Amino acid sequence: MMSDASPMAADSANGVPAPFLSDASGKPRIGTDPASLFAFATLIRDTEKLILDLFSRGLVSGTTHTCLGQELCQMAVVRALDHPDDHVLSNHRNHGHFLSYSGDFHGLVAEIMGRRDGVCGGYGGSQHLAYRHFHSNGVQAGMTGIGVGLAAALKARDSRGIVVTVIGDGTLGEGLLYESMNLASVWQVPVLFVVEHNGIAQTTYTRDTLGGDIVARGAAFGLDTWRVSDREAGFIDAAAAVVAQVRERRRPGMLVIDTGRLGPHSKGDDLRDPGERAALAAADPLAALAACLPADEVAAIRASCAAYLQAVERRALASPAANFDPLPEHSFRPAQAGQVEIPEVADGNVRAALNSALHGLLAAAPETLLIGEDLHDPYGGAFKVSAGLSTKFPGRVISTPISEAGITGAGIGLAMAGRRPIVEIMFADFLSLCLDQLYNHAVKFPGMFPEATVPLVVRAPCGGRRGYGPTHSQSPENLFVSVPGLTVLYPSHRHRVGQLLADAVLRWSNPTLFLEHKLLYGEKCDTADYEILPAGDDDLGAALFPTLRRGSAAPDVTLLAYGGMLPVAERAAKILETQEELAVEIVAPALLAPLPRQTLLQALLDRPRILVVEEAHHHFGVSAEILALLAESAYSGALARLGTLPVPIASARSLESAQLPDEAAIVAAVIDLL
């Protein structure tokens, strides 16, 4: 019988007690005396060795990056975080940060092995970990904007918490880092950028890739800066003092820690010459700590660490492979109840409707805020959608630097902290700069971690017919509809666009792109003779963001159009009805992703001819997906699609109008279909 005798069995690995104490939130309490530091650092080091050993035995799922040699560097800042609101954002080399924050050795080892007991259920592996306010991700510098957003949220609610964002020195080459440092400075938020300077990035020496000075980078942005070495006495206290100063001053800082990587970048990729490695090992800070302790104490600490990690390994090996039960088909959170009613602006156009929705949102929901370029009065945004808002809601309508990726990241951070940010990107063409933030971050957190929600709305004016040329005229929905977990809304003047925006912000807690065609701003909002199609039961968001239809119930042809294409499709329908004597139906979705498949099939499957029209560069885009949907559903009528050819959109109006589908092109395409 296993028994009653062990008083510490509960919170331990297979009956072996953890050789450290934890605080109320489970965070290890690591003292600053040499024995305590040596004990925890040894646990981290032996865990890394265990992981490499498991790797060699083929038991690790995917890749891993250990922090051998950098244990103290990784512990120092994290161990000093003692406020429940403190956040840590880390990168690929995160085991030391994670273990110092969570103390969950079993969860980490099982996670890296792809076992069910893994701290992230097998989603994260080595480099995507989440635990309370700890998040790591595998895109270098990808989390730096998010950290600024989290810190802004802390500042807004007067918390004394701070955000620590860790990067390696190789990551000083990433542009987003500088957007983030600048934003942190402009907003004066308590975020500490920690640069772990080990002199190397994967296999490339930083000296070959870095121009200028590291600390001067922080200073140039007005950050408080510090530089310390984990090989120097007093390092742990110095790092703790930096944390205390950031907490006290409530403004951003940059801490550079000189450290040394003893192991490979990942596994088997250490190409440095043996002399260099020997020199690093000679300066090993753990060896220095051990040297200050009596030999028997060192031996005792090593023995207790080994016993504990053997138990960790046994338990991780006993955990079955992670499995989905059931396999998730999507990562969208359902629509929430409770609505802010946005009154329709009498005789108003789309611009007025959106402006009124933003007024309504800011007035009714204190968690909402607007972030974007040139939003402030009297300018009120490039298309005047935010006119009057900065005057009425000071502090919640924020004009930002020209940093599309940075402000999108900040939006994600604010959203993760419970705010409901609305980010405006001045021209949808620039969404390409936000793509990593949406594709690798906004949609990943809710998809991987059940407790993470990212209720972010990114608004952007899109579309051409104004002669703005190749980089200010595009309709990029085709790129974004394929991002798993991203909602793409592109309404028209026929939809209740203000209400749609309000619902996207308050009732749809999923990262959402909200596209607005520039030419629709001046169009009068009018539902005209459109009716709402019944939403398919399985269509996520379809009831909240309805698809409309108008026209003949027994049409000769159905035009499917959305967003800025709708007025054009309507003009074409008129020509087809009057000049070609055809019965025409228009189906107009506002929700493009997740595509309301059932709703569309119910409306389209028995139609004899369907033309899908869009303004986007449409190969591989929305129309392609709709045509594939119909083909997969055994639709056997005639089908065609019309969009913009894969060429840059010209500035000259005469050229542009020949490129973008107009009513004549739609009429011609319909005639071809007959």
Partner 1 sequence: MATPIHVPRINNNDDEVKVLAFDVKPGERVSAGQIVGQVETDKAVLDVTAPVDGYVLGFVAQPDEIAQVGSVMLWLGASASEPIPEAGAPTPDSSTAGPSPVTGKAKLLLARYGVKSDAVTPIDGRITVEAVERYLATHGLAAAAPAPVVAVSRPAEPRPEVPGTAVALSREEKGMAATVVWHRDCAVPGYIEIDYDPAPWAEYARAFQEEKGLLMPPLLPLMAWRLVEVARTMPRINATFVEQQRYEYGAVNLGFTIQAGESLYLAVVREAEVLDAGGFVNALGDVLRRAASHQLRESEASGATIGFSSMERWKVTRHIPVLPPHTAFMLAHAAARNGRAVLGASYDHRVLNGGQVVAALKKLSSPT
Neighbours of 567 (CB within 10 A): 18
Return the number of the residue (168 or 411) whose C-beta is nearest Mg ion: 168
DSSP, res 515: E
Cα(16)–Cα(6) distance, rounded to whole angstroms? 9
Contact 341, 498 (CB under 8 A): no
Max Cα separation, the chain? 98
Judged by CB under 8 A, the number of residues near partner 1 is 38
Residues 159-188, mask of contacts with Mg ion (x by CB under 5 A): ---------xxx------------------
Of 15-23, 198-206, 367-375, 574-582: span binding ligand TPP (CB under 6 A): 198-206
Within 10 A of 4 (CB to CB), how many other CB atoms are there?
Answer: 7
460 lies in the site for partner 1, by CB under 8 A: no
Token pair 């500490």 is found at 192
Residues in contact with partner 1, shown as a per-residue x/- string from 329 to 368 under the rule CB under 8 A: ----------------------xx----------------
Q: How far is CA 21 from CA 100, 102, 132, 434, in A?
A: 12, 11, 18, 42
Contact between 86 and ligand TPP per CB under 6 A: no
Closest separation between CB of residue 261 and Mg ion, Å?
Answer: 7
What one-letter code names the amino acid at 601?
L
CA distance 433 to 437: 8
Shortest reach from residue 289's CB to Mg ion, in Å = 23
Determine the interface stretch with partner 1 among 31-39, 368-376, 381-389, 445-453 (rule: CB under 8 A): 381-389
Interaction mask 109-148, ligand TPP, x per CB under 6 A: -----------------------------xxx--------
Interface segment toward ligand TPP; rule CB under 6 A; list 194-202, 328-336, 475-483, 526-534: 194-202
- Which residue from 47, 126, 198, 474 is in contact with Mg ion, where contact means CB under 5 A? 198
Strands 548-551 and 584-588: antiparallel
- Return the residues of window 156-185 that contact ligand TPP according to CB under 6 A: 167-171
Give 72 or 201: the residue with its C-beta nearer to ligand TPP. 201
In 596-648, at which residue ranges do the beta strands (DSSP E only) sit?
Answer: 609-617, 638-644
Give the dihedral sign, CA 469/471/473/478. Answer: positive
Alpha helices (H) along 491-595 = 497-506, 566-578
Q: Which residue is nearest to ligand TPP (CB)?
A: 168
- In terms of CB distance, is 151 or 568 closer to partner 1? 568
Closest residue by beta carbon to Mg ion:
168
Catalytic-residue membership of 87: no
* CB 92, min distance to ligand TPP, A: 5
Beta partners for 586? 550, 559
Q: Which is nearer to ligand TPP, 213 or 526 (CB)?
A: 213
Buried b (16+ CB within 10 A) or exposed e, 353-386: bbbbbbbbbbeeeebbbbbbbebbeeebbbbebb
Question: Which residues, at least 6 apart from 84, have a Cβ–Cβ distance to it below 8 Å?
Answer: 25, 161
Distance from C-alpha of 580 to C-alpha of 583, rounded to nearest angstrom: 9
H/E/C letters for each residue in 183-227?
HHHHHCCCEEEEEEECCEECCEEHHHCCCCCHHHHHHHCCCEEEE
Tell me: does residue 198 bind ligand TPP (CB under 6 A): yes
- Which CB sits closer to Mg ion, 34 or 264? 264
User: Of the residues 128, 472, 495, 617, which is catalytic?
Assistant: 472
Of the candidates 576, 603, 611, 650, which one interacts with partner 1 according to CB under 8 A?
576
- Whether the upstream peptide bond of residue 378 has omega within 30° of 0, thus cis, is yes
Provide, rounded to whole angstroms, the least separation between the CB of residue 68 and ligand TPP.
Answer: 11
* 92 contact choice in ligand TPP, partner 1, Mg ion, none (CB below 5 to 8 Å, kind-dependent): ligand TPP
Interacting residues toward ligand TPP by CB under 6 A: 92-93, 138-140, 167-171, 196, 198, 200-202, 265
- Catalytic residue list: 472
Interacting residues toward partner 1 by CB under 8 A: 351-352, 380, 382-384, 387, 466, 518, 521-522, 554, 556-557, 576, 579-583, 605-609, 635-638, 657-658, 662-665, 670-671, 674
Interacting residues toward Mg ion by CB under 5 A: 168-170, 198, 201
